[in-house]
Amino acid sequence: MIETISEHKNLRAKLYWWLERPDRSATGPWLLEIALILLISLNVTAVILETVASIYTRWHLAFDLFEGVSLIVFVAEYATRLWVAPEDPNYKSRLDWIRSPLAVIDLLAILPALLYLFFPMDLRILRTFRMLRLLKLTRYSPALGMLFAVFEEEAGSFFAGFFILMVMLVFAASGAWIAEHDAQPEAFGSIPAAMWWAMATLTTVGYGDVTPVTVAGKLFGALITVIGIGMAALPAGILASGLNDQLHRRRARMEREFRAALEDGDICDDDEKDIEALRKQLGLSHRAANHIREHIHSEAQSEAGRCKACGQSLPVPEGTQD
């Protein structure tokens, strides 16, 4: 019994190593990662091509077969990741993994096809929802991972911005209705009808299909347009600030890795492998990593010539001066 449990744990640890690829230099997990990325890309391409009637009519059997094989692979991947979740120190239980953003994305990638098996509905709509599989690339792209991390951390700020936008939308639609409902009853006959103009103006899109014609409406529209410029900049500022904060954190983590590697005075080959693996995981460029390396080396050389107790420069031993 004990041996069976041990074998299961060993198998689970091995599958975790293959799927999550903690050893970034391993060839096997790297090839598996490339294969999954290729499969996801082909799925998105298939969804796009299926919308062309002439292509889908001719190759519908091939598309259906490919979808069946892909679904089996993605379901097996999800089930395996769920089973090996306890091996990941970031999750206390499988329930914690299920609620994680990446797990939700994996579930959304297979859920439309699974729903069709139990609740038959318009297959074309479900096929379109398969585009959600594109989000699975987040697992393999540090840049997308950084973006999702920003959305997760700044959710409160984004919600506040969205709430302000909704308030301004109601306010703008109400003002436009008051100014324009007599002159243009077909476009501004009600506040809900005026919301189309308000949304297009607040987001600075300005399609031009609906525009104020009265003096009061034009003045009010100009005010809303100016306010809309600030509203459009609000989420962009939150996103830029969050991305900058994420980048600073990743650079700081890279600096800590370099400092830890230099504690013994030199960076060995194993340290170099760990640093390179961390660089890829964080999505930092070689140039950024080299800049951090040079900065840490300069600090180490500067500290080597100073007293650790007082910080003063140490005297140069006799015979070493020119």
Read off the pLDDT band of 125 (50, 70, 90): low
In tens, the pLDDT along 5-39 reads 555 568 888 888 887 765 556 677 778 888 888 99
pLDDT at 117: 66
Q: What is the DSSP string of 254-283?
A: HHHHHHHHTTTSS--HHHHHHHHHHHHHHT
Angle between helices 215-261 and 286-304 (to 10 degrees): 50
The answer to whether 143 and 243 have CB atoms below 8 angstroms apart is no
User: What dotted CATH number matches 2-140?
Assistant: 1.20.120.350
In tens, the pLDDT along 284-309 reads 777 877 888 787 777 766 665 555 55
Read off the pLDDT band of 174 (50, 70, 90): very high
Class for domain 141-306, per CATH?
Answer: mainly alpha
Report the alpha-carbon distance of residue 107 to residue 137 in Å, rounded.
14
pLDDT at 322: 45
pLDDT at 170: 92
pLDDT at 7: 58
In tens, the pLDDT along 216-246 reads 888 998 888 888 888 777 888 888 888 888 8
Mean pLDDT of the chain: 78
Q: Which one is predicted more confidently, 162 or 308? A: 162
Predicted model pTM = 0.61
Secondary structure (3-state) at 306: strand
Spans of all domains in the chain: 2-140, 141-306
Lowest average pLDDT, out of 42-51, 113-122, 279-288, goes to 113-122
How far from 23 is each of 129, 165, 225, 260, CA to CA, in Å? 33, 45, 53, 19
Lowest average pLDDT, out of 99-103, 191-195, 297-301, goes to 297-301
